[in-house]
């Protein structure tokens, strides 16, 4: 959905060039989830950006509850900050039940961050900076995404994203 609808204008190139690393975690124990994240963060930072431009960490079990996912995401972000890695890596988050705070529960905007599994996207900050240098108004991407989903309508969006109903 993200690539097909161009919700992320930067995704097409890294996918076409096979530069996305997909990491799957089936752990359910907190310590194992955290170790998985640390390992994948190290893998991304240790890899040549032409080989691994970005990583998608998918959690197949244990984070079905959105609040549990947000707690772990918060820990991930805190670790980045403590390790002083925020100028190198940023996180994007996706979940089957993703909901933006302060937005009506039935708003289609939530589907911009819904995915089949709880997922953390590790993005290289340098690459995001380069990509955004060619975008006049980066905030417009999100607004355009919402317009795209609203134009499609609930029925079509839910058909494309049945896990997010």
**8 Å CB contact between 95 and 113:** yes
Spatial separation of the C-alpha atoms in residues 115 and 97, rounded to whole Å:
8
CA 57 to chain centre: 9
* Calculated CA dihedral for residues 137, 140, 142, 144, nearest 10 degrees: -140
Instruction: Read off the pLDDT of residues 28-40 as tens digits, 9 standing for 90 and up.
Output: 999 999 999 999 9
60-79 pLDDT, tens digit each: 998 999 999 999 999 999 99
Average pLDDT over residues 74-87: 97
Q: Where are the domains of the chain?
A: 11-143
* Strand-pair partners of 91: 122
Consecutive H or E run containing 97: none
The structure's pTM equals: 0.91
- The 10s digit of each residue's pLDDT in 105-136 is 999 999 999 999 999 999 999 888 887 787 77
């Amino acid at each position: 959905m993200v690539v097909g609808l161009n919700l992320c204008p930067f995704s097409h190139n890294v996918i076409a060039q096979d530069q996305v690393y997909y990491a799957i975690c089936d752990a359910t124990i907190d310590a194992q989830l955290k170790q998985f994240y640390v390992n994948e963060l190290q893998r991304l930072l240790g890899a040549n950006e032409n080989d691994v431009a970005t990583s998608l960490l998918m959690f197949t079990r244990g984070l079905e509850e959105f609040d549990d996912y947000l707690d772990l995401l918060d820990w991930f972000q805190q670790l980045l900050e403590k390790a002083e890695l925020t100028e190198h890596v940023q996180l994007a988050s996706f979940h089957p039940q993703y909901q933006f705070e302060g937005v009506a529960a039935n708003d289609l905007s939530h589907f911009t961050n819904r995915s089949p599994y709880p997922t953390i996207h590790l993005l290289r900050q340098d690459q995001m900076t380069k990509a955004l240098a060619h975008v006049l108004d980066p905030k417009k991407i999100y607004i355009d995404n919402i317009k795209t989903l609203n134009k499609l309508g609930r029925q079509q969006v839910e058909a494309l994203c049945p896990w997010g109903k």
